[in-house]
Amino acid sequence: MELNKLERYWLIAVGVVLGAFTAATIVALLFFNIRLPSPVERIDPQRLEETEFARPGIRRLTGSRYEAYIVAKSWAFEVGPDAGTPPTLRFPAGSEVTFYVTSKDVMHGFQIEGHTANLELVPGQIARTTARFNRPGRYNIICNHYCGAGHHLMYATILVE
């Protein structure tokens, strides 16, 4: 069977594109250590009061390192008892924050605008990401996964001072 000249060009083009995608994936894995996010731990979303998520909020570790435990639920982020409205997390400039986030009810998103932090929150799983806040400013946390009628009201704020 003989291939038409244009068919041959298309097959070559498809082979080159597939090879480029494969090479980019291998480079991302080996040299840039890019991995798909995986759950840190699995928990029962109906029994959050028995976990560290019973008291969401900020925990200071050493120096400028913090941990933030956040619960997403319809249609709010629980970030601590004194967070206010909208919920606000405060950190000094230069802080490195590891976020531990879970969902209580349905799938939600967790994205920090201006950072690469972007998680999908599945009920029963704990997701983790780390962000460094070098510059003072206001950073919004938004739910970027449609979660129902009040989705547009679901946000929180990070103030870096």
The yes-or-no verdict on residue 36 having pLDDT over 80 is: no
Where is pLDDT greater, at 19 or 62?
Answer: 19
**Cβ partners under 8 Å of residue 76, min gap 6:** 87, 153, 154
**Is residue 146 very low, low, confident or very high in pLDDT (cuts 50, 70, 90)?**
very high
Q: Per-residue pLDDT averaged across 122-134, rounded?
A: 92
**Cα angle 30, 97, 85; round to 5:** 135
- Which pLDDT does position 84 carry in this prediction? 75
pTM of the complete model:
0.77
